Amino acid sequence: MTRQTKRLRVLLVMFLVGLVMASGVLYIASLDYATRYPELTDLRLPIYIAVLVGLVPMIVAVKVVFDLLRVVDLGEAFSLQTVRFLRRLKGLFGITVAYLVLGLVGVLAAVWVAMGQTKAYILLPWFAAEVVALFLFTLAALLEGLFAAALQLRQDNELTV
């Protein structure tokens, strides 16, 4: 394990710990909102579970990044396996983007039915998460294309020698 990938691994573990802590804080916040907005009490648990289900692709993506770092440590950064990992990562980010869009529509409809209006403080963090997920999807697609092109150049170079 190289020094550079060791730092990335530490950051990934910190990200996973942050996800667990955020899930706990979200549960506590959902209890607070249930007392503050009694008309939304029935929506608390389904929305919390939906958020946890939405985190599954991100947890799997962290596993894929760990696998990608393992390949980099072996010195095979420009390999078919790397391109596969990046393709899988792009798919996971795409699933997250689609899930966020569907979740936004669902939460908007549920809150609108329960309260007769939608609050901006519900929408702003959701839009921010959507922008981040779209950025990650675009970045993974770009990296997949770059590594696929580099792999093709590597294979062509090996054939000419």
CA dihedral 47, 51, 54, 58 (to 10 degrees): 180
Confidence of residue 48 (pLDDT cuts 50, 70, 90): confident
pLDDT digits (tens, 9 = 90+) for 9-26: 999 999 999 999 999 998
Number of domains in the chain: 1
Interatomic CA distance for residues 43 and 112, integer angstroms: 12
Task: Check if the beta carbon of residue 138 is closer than 8 Å to that of residue 63.
Answer: no
Helix boundaries (H) for the chain = 3-36, 41-73, 80-115, 120-160
pLDDT at 21: 94
Phi, psi of 3 (to 5 degrees): -60, -40
pLDDT at 117: 67
Question: What average pLDDT score do residues 71-77 get?
Answer: 86
Strands (E) in 67-137, as ranges, are none
Percent of the chain at pLDDT exceeding 90: 32
pLDDT reading at 40 higher than 80 = no
pLDDT reading at 115 higher than 70 = no
Tell me the pLDDT of the chain averaged across its residues: 86
The DSSP symbol for 39 reads: G
Question: What average pLDDT score do residues 46-60 get?
Answer: 88
- Neighbouring CB atoms inside 10 A of 35's CB total 8
CA dihedral 113, 130, 51, 18 (to 10 degrees): -140
pLDDT at 1: 58
Q: What is the DSSP string of 1-36?
A: --HHHHHHHHHHHHHHHHHHHHHHHHHHHHHHHHHH
Q: Residue 66 belongs to what domain range?
A: 3-160
pLDDT at 119: 67
| Cα 136–Cα 94–Cα 100 angle in degrees, nearest 5 | 90
**Which residue pairs from 49-53 have beta carbons closer than 8 angstroms and sit at least 24 positions apart in sequence?**
50/103, 50/106, 51/23, 51/26, 51/103, 52/23, 53/99
Task: Check if the beta carbon of residue 33 is closer than 8 Å to that of residue 44.
Answer: yes
